[in-house]
């Protein structure tokens, strides 16, 4: 169907309002000066009749940022892009940002399956927005195996967030940097990439990663120093036997500009992507680049390859019609998450049926809350007097402890949040905004009555065994919906059970180390009865729900019958498709994957996009 556009260039547009806005700064011309306003607008400003009374969020935002229906029709008719990026989360941002820095003339289209919802991380919003975590905002695009559902400590795997920005608006923001010895099973090409100049620097800058002891505000202060000191002392003394390292938590919360006074701002991709959009809009206006195109409410289902031309992809099927690129030069960048990426490949390539999804990894969780009395002598003699733990001020600390099971070398880590809240009700807003991991934060019930205590919340994550053949993702022919036609199974191996026990033991050792002289006065939280000197039962601290899924499309040699992707990020069996994210990792490790995922997505952009000289 023809859209009526007169020129192929019309699909690369910069949205703008058709009427002038009175919301502009003093001394600045409106976006559309009165002299340039349309001379024959039939109806505006309520004259001669009322205008639209029920605009949808999609209608309100598309006019400024996203592809509207007319432009989409033009894209279907004659759109020509260098890259089509599937997804709008971390890997999409990392690829697009790096690609357009290298070549601002590059034509890129982002396809997001959902609409615009949250403009930033939910913790950056007023406290009532905490209610949006989980629930209806989380979708599960798979059929879960009954075997997994009936494992009490596993139960399920956390799902997707089908909105612009994806899970970036909900993540914990912990960004540890794994060392080479923690990349078990990774091919040499991936390891060499992480050793290249600026690999870690670039992805940390992208996410504004800042160690907790360098957050320049009053909330992360003396308590941070104390907790880090106690953990380091215990580690060096061998009192946490299986632990290897500890550090102030690296968090993606840093300042968005060198002059910003906002010291704690949880990173998410909606604002960052729209920043790039605005940058490209200005470059387009100055004839120095092309616009970044973003289409929402567009589900990518599958692609078609040309078997007569080296399996080049020429058609991408979506819920809004098929995108065609007859010359086969358009790259498809899969950045929608491990399971959606795998599903698209299973629906598209026969070669993937025995490779994609043959391995599934992720992290299992333990949550333990404890508290110890605030020893006045302990805190009064710390450091300079101006940094003493204040009697009436909220303080938070975030620390990271990592270790391994000595028998299997499987990894775990503990995300430690310590909080001193002398006025829990009044502190709730600041604590809710700045707690490092809201899903594992101290609750109002735990803080009430703990005014004279230091409360510790430990979220411990252990990696799933990548050699467990009973964990898999497979195509489900019984489901006709191309978005959900996969079946997922995750089980626990002997290695998993052993690691979980060791991880829990290390977590209790770390809690004792942080309590130090107050170890005899330690109390633990019980869901049914509150604080007690007894440790809670194992069934209470182990949290159902696997997180950080990965390894479903792991990178490896073609001779490995289960490896799905080559060392240039291409799935075996096609040419111009590329994979990003934790699906690439042969093993999960215990470290949060986001930082490393972004680094590899940036590397993909460097491999695909020649740097344009000014």
DSSP 273-303: HHHHHHHHHHHHHTTSS-PPEEE-S--EEEE
pLDDT of res. 8 = 47
Enumerate residue ranges in the chain where pLDDT < 70: 1-9, 15-40, 259, 261, 380-388
**Strand, coil or helix: 393:** coil
Residue 351 DSSP class? G
**Which residue reads 């130090």 in tokens?**
516
Rounded-to-integer distance, Cα 257 and Cα 272, Å: 12
Q: Tokens standing for 162?
A: 């089908």
Does residue 388 fall inside a structural domain?
A: yes
Rounded-to-integer distance, Cα 597 and Cα 588, Å: 12
pLDDT of res. 9 = 58
Helices (H), 420-558: 424-434, 444-447, 494-515, 538-541
pLDDT of res. 92 = 99
Output the 3-class SS for 183-211.
CCCCCHHHHHHHHCCCHHHHHHHHHCEEE
pLDDT of res. 41 = 72
pLDDT of res. 218 = 83
Rounded-to-integer distance, Cα 335 and Cα 94, Å: 10
Residue 34 sits at the vertex; the CA angle it makes with 28 and 39, to the nearest 5 degrees, is: 160
Residue 90 DSSP class? H
Residue 448's alpha-carbon distances to 126, 428, 452, 471, 522, in angstroms, are 21, 11, 10, 42, 17
Rounded-to-integer distance, Cα 592 and Cα 548, Å: 7
Rounded-to-integer distance, Cα 402 and Cα 212, Å: 16
Rounded-to-integer distance, Cα 318 and Cα 304, Å: 12
Instruction: Determine how many CB atoms are found less than 10 A away from the CB of residue 292.
Output: 28
Q: Tokens standing for 71?
A: 């432009």
Residue 328 backbone zone (phi > 0: left; psi -120 to 50: alpha; other: beta): left
Instruction: Determine how many CB atoms are found less than 10 A away from the CB of residue 38.
Output: 11
Helices (H), 435-521: 444-447, 494-515
Q: Tokens standing for 555?
A: 């990178």
pLDDT of res. 60 = 81
First to last CA, the chain: 40
| Strand partners for 420 | 395
pLDDT of res. 5 = 42
The whole-angstrom distance between residue 262's C-alpha and the CA centroid of its chain comes to: 21
Domain region containing 378: 211-266+360-550
**CB-based contact 227:220 (threshold 8 Å):** no
**Strand, coil or helix: 230:** helix
pLDDT of res. 259 = 66
Query: Given 3-state DSSP classes, what are the helix, strand and coil percentages for the chain, each rounded to the nearest 5?
Result: 35, 20, 45
Does residue 345 fall inside a structural domain?
A: no
Nearest to 58 by CA among 122, 117, 130: 117
Beta strands in 337-467 (DSSP E): 361-373, 395-404, 411-420, 453-463
Nearest to 573 by CA among 410, 356, 369: 356
Does residue 153 fall inside a structural domain?
A: no
Does residue 371 fall inside a structural domain?
A: yes
* Global pTM exceeds 0.75: yes
pLDDT of res. 2 = 42
Residue 596 sits at the vertex; the CA angle it makes with 169 and 558, to the nearest 5 degrees, is: 120
Residue 590 DSSP class? S
Q: Tokens standing for 445?
A: 């019930």
Rounded-to-integer distance, Cα 270 and Cα 171, Å: 13
Q: How many domains does the chain have?
A: 1
Rounded-to-integer distance, Cα 387 and Cα 216, Å: 13
Instruction: Determine how many CB atoms are found less than 10 A away from the CB of residue 377.
Output: 7
Rounded-to-integer distance, Cα 286 and Cα 607, Å: 28
């Amino acid at each position: 169907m023809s859209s009526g556009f007169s020129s192929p260039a019309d699909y690369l547009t910069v949205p703008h309002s058709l009427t002038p806005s009175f919301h502009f700064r003093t001394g600045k011309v409106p976006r559309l000066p009165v002299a340039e306003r349309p001379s024959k607008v039939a109806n505006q400003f309520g004259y001669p009749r009322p205008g639209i009374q029920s605009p949808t969020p999609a209608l309100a935002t598309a006019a400024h940022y996203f592809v509207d229906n007319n432009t989409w029709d033009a894209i279907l008719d004659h759109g020509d892009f260098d890259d089509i990026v599937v997804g709008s989360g971390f890997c999409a941002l990392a690829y697009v940002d790096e690609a357009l820095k290298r070549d601002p003339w590059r034509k890129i289209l982002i396809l997001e399956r959902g609409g615009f919802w949250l403009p930033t991380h939910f913790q950056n919003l007023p406290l009532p927005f905490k209610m949006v975590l989980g629930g209806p905002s989380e979708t599960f695009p798979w059929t879960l195996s009954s075997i997994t559902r009936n494992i009490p400590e596993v139960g399920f795997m956390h799902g997707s967030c089908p909105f612009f920005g994806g899970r970036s608006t909900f993540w914990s923001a912990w960004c540890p940097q794994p060392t080479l010895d923690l990349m078990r099973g990774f091919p040499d090409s991936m390891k060499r990439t992480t050793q290249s100049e600026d690999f870690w620097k670039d992805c940390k800058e992208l996410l504004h990663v800042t160690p907790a002891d360098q957050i320049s505000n009053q909330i992360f202060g003396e308590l941070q120093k104390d907790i880090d000191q106690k953990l380091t002392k215990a580690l060096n003394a061998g009192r946490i036997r299986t632990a290897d390292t500890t550090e102030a938590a690296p968090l993606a919360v840093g300042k968005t500009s060198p002059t910003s006074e906002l010291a704690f701002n949880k990173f998410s991709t909606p604002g960052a992507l729209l920043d790039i959009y605005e940058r490209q809009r200005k470059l387009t206006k100055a004839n120095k680049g092309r616009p970044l195109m973003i289409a929402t409410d567009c589900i990518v289902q599958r692609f078609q390859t040309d078997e007569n031309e080296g399996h080049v992809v020429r058609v991408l099927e979506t819920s809004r019609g098929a995108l065609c690129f007859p010359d086969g030069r358009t790259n498809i960048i899969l950045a929608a998450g491990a399971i959606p990426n795998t599903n698209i490949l299973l629906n598209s390539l026969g070669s993937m049926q025995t490779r994609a999804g043959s391995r599934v990894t992720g992290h299992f969780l333990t949550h333990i809350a404890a508290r110890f009395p605030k020893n006045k002598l302990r805190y009064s003699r710390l450091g300079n007097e101006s940094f003493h733990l204040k009697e009436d001020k909220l303080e938070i600390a975030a620390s990271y402890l990592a270790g391994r099971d000595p028998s299997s070398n499987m990894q775990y880590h503990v995300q430690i949040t310590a909080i001193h809240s002398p006025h829990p009700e009044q502190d709730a807003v600041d604590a809710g905004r700045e707690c490092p991991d809201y899903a594992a934060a101290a609750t109002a019930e735990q803080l009430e009555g703990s005014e004279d205590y230091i409360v510790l919340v430990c979220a411990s994550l252990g990696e799933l065994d990548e050699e467990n053949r009973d964990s898999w993702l497979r195509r489900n022919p019984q489901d006709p919906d191309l978005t959900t036609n996969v079946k997922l199974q995750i089980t626990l191996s002997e290695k998993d059970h052993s690691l979980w026990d060791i991880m829990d033991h290390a977590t209790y050792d770390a809690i004792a180390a942080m309590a130090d002289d107050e170890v005899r006065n330690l109390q633990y939280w019980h869901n049914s009865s509150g604080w007690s000197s007894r440790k809670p039962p194992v069934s209470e601290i182990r949290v159902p729900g696997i997180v950080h899924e990965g390894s479903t499309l792991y990178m490896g040699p073609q001779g490995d019958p289960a490896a799905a992707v080559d060392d240039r990020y291409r799935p075996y069996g096609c040419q111009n498709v590329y994979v990003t994210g934790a699906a690439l990792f042969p093993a999960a490790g215990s470290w949060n994957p986001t930082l490393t995922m972004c680094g590899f997505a940036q590397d993909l952009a460097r491999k695909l996009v020649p740097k344009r000289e000014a």
